[in-house]
Each structure stands twice: as structure tokens, then as C-alpha cells.
A and B are shown apart, each in its own frame.
Chain A
Amino acid sequence: MDNSVKLRRSLPLAEKAFGASGVSVTSMGAGYRCSLRVGADDVAALSQALGVDLPQTPKTSARSASRIAMWLGPDEWSIYDSKNNPIDDLKNVDVACAGVDVSHRNTAIEVSGSLAAGVINAGCPQDLSLEVFPVGACSRTILGKVEIVLCRTKADIFHVECWRSFSPYVFEFLSTAAKEQSALAAR
């Protein structure tokens, strides 16, 4: 008899989506995430192992295939990958670093459309104009009452990462803001 217990991870937001004229808020599917901390001397070795150059300039990110490396702090990065787990690439690395698999701690929401920046600005006080927050810019910041990691993947597409327990709040916040911004734009 097969006594093994089969467990399946569930996404906190399932397939939730909200759309209004000029903006849509969509929960993203499962993805892999790694919280990475490493000293300046070993950045090159880890960049090689991960196949993406860890950015060293504040508020920037680097991409390679399905992977995004986001600068969070002077020795801290968040690696997001929609297909392969980045932690697998760190297994055979022989440098002092802290890489933690946080795939299921976070969930992601995508905000897209011409009104996307305005919708995020409803709860995030950072300047999201293209001059100050260009494509590829990323930052840990605040949305309403919670901490998020924000990354601008295209001019009108934002990737919003938040802790899974906060995700219903973040989704409701963004969809309410989307409803308002869309109605204001239509006036």
C-alpha cells in the first residue's frame, strides 16, 4: 500500500486578476526566488554560477533568460526565476554566501498598462517616472502598509513581490487603486 503523503503547494492568490481600462492587476504563477547575501569579493563567482551578473549599482537589476537579479542592498540581492530554481545553481559554489530559497515566502503580482505607475503610486511614495525609475529599475519599498519589492520589467509593466500572507491586502489595494485611476482617466 502506498502510504506516502502527496502535498501540493497552493498559490495564495490562485489565479486572481482584475482588469480595468488602462490597467490590469494579475497574480503571477508559481516562480522561484532566492534571497542572496554575499560580500563584494565573491560577487563575480556567484554571478558566474547563477549565469546572471549581480548588479552592483543601487536600484538596478540584470536579466538573463527567465532569471532576474535585483539589487536590494550593498550585499543583498533577490533572484527571481519563473522556470528554474536559482538555489540549485548555488549548491556547488565554494564561497561564503547566504542563499536562501524563499520561493514560497513571496508571491508576485503584475501591474500592467498605461496607468500602471499611477496605480502603484497610490500606495508607494517613490518617483516612478521613467527618468527616475527606468525599465530595469528595482527597489524594496512600501505599498500602503506593507513592504514590497518593485521591479519595472517594461515601460508599463511592474513586477510586485510581497510576502504571501500580505498578498490579499496587496491585491485588493492595487485593484481598488486600478478601479479609481481608470475611472479618473475616463472622466
Chain B
Amino acid sequence: MLLIHCPYCAEERPETEFAHAGEAHIERSTEMNALTDEGFSKFFFYRDNTKGTTFERWRHIHGCGRYFNAARDTVSDKFLTTYKAGEPKPDLSKLVDDQTNAGAKS
């Protein structure tokens, strides 16, 4: 079973306690009325669906109930990191380096 680190519970928990909640860091425009139909549909419907590393929201629904963000590789299903909602995107190049170094050491 996949273990996911919850930044609020500060420990790894089994994946069945979590729910995936879509792409992260999608900002709602402060000028919604000024948006064109095309602009709105882009905000509302279209997602990147990246193959590789993505940033996504997860919810620890059967635990602390909190939403948080995660950087995950959609090919290997490996979680690079998780961080609290509202925190900035972590530096991906550094994360990948850390993972490589950790792998080299072990």
C-alpha cells in the first residue's frame, strides 16, 4: 500500500485515508466578470494532465480532513513531496536532485 505523508498529521499514512482532489495552484481570477467565455472555460475545465511530475491537491479525508498539495510523478506514482495548502510550489529541480542523491546514498 502506498504511504502518503500528511503535512498536518506530520506522518505517513495509508493511501486509503486520502482522496485525490485535482490539479493544484489553479488561481481564481479576481476579475471573474472580465473573463471571456474562453478564459473562463480555460480556468474552469481545462487541466494540464501532465505525464511526469505534477502538482495536485489531496485531502486527508479519513484523517485530519485537511486539503494539502503534493508533487507526484504520474508515471512512477512516487510522491516527491507534500506541503500545506497555501505554501508556494517547491523548487522541482532541487526536489529531483534530493531524490537522486537519496537514491545514490542508499
Contacts and interface: CB of A to CB of B under 8 A. Distances in A.
B8 A73 contact: yes
A58 B17 contact: no
Contacts of B1: 125
Given A74-B64, A126-B13, A140-B65, 10 more contacts: A58-B64, A59-B9, A73-B65, A76-B64, A76-B65, A125-B1, A125-B17, A140-B62, A141-B13, A142-B62
Contact of B65 (A72, A125, A142): A72
Contacts of B16: 125, 142
Interface string B37-80: 00000000000000000000000001111100000000000000
A58 B11 contact: yes
21 contacts: A58-B8, A58-B10, A58-B64, A59-B9, A59-B11, A72-B65, A73-B8, A73-B64, A73-B65, A74-B64, A74-B66, A125-B14, A125-B16, A125-B17, A139-B9, A140-B64, A140-B65, A141-B62, A141-B63, A142-B16, A147-B62
Interface string A50-63: 00000000110000
Contacts of B64: 58, 72-74, 76, 140
Interface of A: 58-59, 72-74, 76, 125-126, 139-142, 147
B8 to A, nearest CB: 6
Q: Is the interface of B mostly helix, strand, loop or mixed?
A: loop
Given A58-B11, A59-B9, A142-B17, A73 B66 contact: yes
Contacts of B17: 125, 141-142
A176 B8 CA distance: 34
Nearest to B14: A125
Contacts of A142: 14, 16-17, 62
5 interchain residue pairs of minimum CB distance? A125-B14, A73-B64, A58-B9, A73-B65, A147-B62
Nearest to A74: B8
A164 to B, nearest CB: 18
Interface in B1-24: 1, 8-11, 13-14, 16-17
A34 to B, nearest CB: 17
A72 B10 CA distance: 13
